[in-house]
Structure 1
Amino acid sequence: MSDTEIGPPIALVTGANKGIGLETVRRLVDQGFRVYLGARSAERGQPAADSVKAQFLQLDVTSDDSVQQAVAFIQKEHGHLDVLVNNAGIGGPRREPQDYTANDMATVLMTNVVGYMRLIHACLPLLEKSSNPRVVNVSSGLGSFALFHDLDRIESRAGTVPYAASKAAINMMTARLARLLPHIHINAADLGQTSTELSGNQGHSIQDGTDAIVHFALAGPDGPSGTYADRTGELPW
């Protein structure tokens, strides 16, 4: 462990003022992490951070300036980052298939995919200063081609075109980066159908939904990388 890692491990969770992000922050704080709760709105983010004893960090994943300022703050305070949880995402509009537009797709991809890449790129110098750097990309079974073709699975009939496409892109981004950056553990977590606003409050509990995220975040130096899994184990890409 380097001198910059004295003290609790440092984590950043994006899109974390509610739902899956907030529960992830809460669980990591309970595990002894110093967690930065990233959210666009200070009005919503600060009370959320206070409620789970985390530190609020104003962060808009669609803005280069916002991300650079947030990462610079962590650099100044700690000099390294142990865990990045890319969670910020949007569901996008629900339309009839023939009504989806290029703008619909671009809006979802800019947040869900480009936003993830923006954070990874900006955080890499800090992650490389950790003795056990981990990136957890929050994905979905809706991004799995194998699950889509299994007609017994809900993934074969649920999800919108832009959202599912964004999760498929996240999966490939995860697999490629994990292979190209073997010194950093990079994994994709499927929440399963979790009871949040995005799912219409259908599915299992938010705690169950965060199990795969927390599993990857807590993994040791010999932990998995390039893995796609939900709370029950690995999934087919």
Structure 2
Amino acid sequence: MRSEYNEELLKIKEEILLMSTITEKMLSDSVFALNSKDVELAKTVIDRDDLVDAKEIELQLVVSKIIATQGPVATDLRRLASTYKIITNLERIADLAVNISKRVIELAEEVYMKPLIDIPLECELAEKLLKLSIQAFISEDISRLREVVDLENEIDDTNEAINSECMAYMMKDTKNIHQGTVFCLIGGYLERIGDHATNIFETVFYIVTGDYIDFNDLDEQTISEILGLEQTQK
């Protein structure tokens, strides 16, 4: 019975990794399409959302079946129940990539008021955070907690820089108001993607430790204490 459960858990992790790979590609393609004004690529991102939605439903059914048939308790139940949250966060990231792609289509006929620098940077940071969080789930390893917190802060700072710069352009010329507003929206989408990626790592933290912590409440001393305790337990 235990061997069967372990095999099923491994399959779930493999499927979540696949779902994450699709989602990450949607994210990177959406911002690439924005930067290159590639409307056709943006449309493919929108179409791929159906794959993520189908995978979400499939995985929820698989997890529910295991819980119903295996009767897991304690850590096993915590691990399985937590996968619902991870799946949901991935689906929402895909939705936000779709939102970015829709804005690509909206701006297709416009000449950008400035070269895009901070938006691709924010996307890279969000991708890195998502990859890190999914790998933490696969390996059930929270040792990169500090890096997660730093990345989330970088994403927030970059989003603020986007908002400030766009506001300056809009104040300089009212013709920039529509485009500046759209770029602010996209920065906000990427900031939310970072939040969802952080939520995934918070869920992994709960799986590993049994404690839920809002990473917004963490200071450097607390992070050091958590990592020190984790290292001692190993």
Q: TM-score, normalised by structure 1?
A: 0.32
Instruction: Tell me: higher relative CO, structure 1 or 2? Use CA pairs within 8 A at least 6 residues apart.
Output: 2
Higher percent of residues as helix = 2
Q: TM-score, normalised by structure 2?
A: 0.32
Greater Rg over alpha carbons, structure: 2
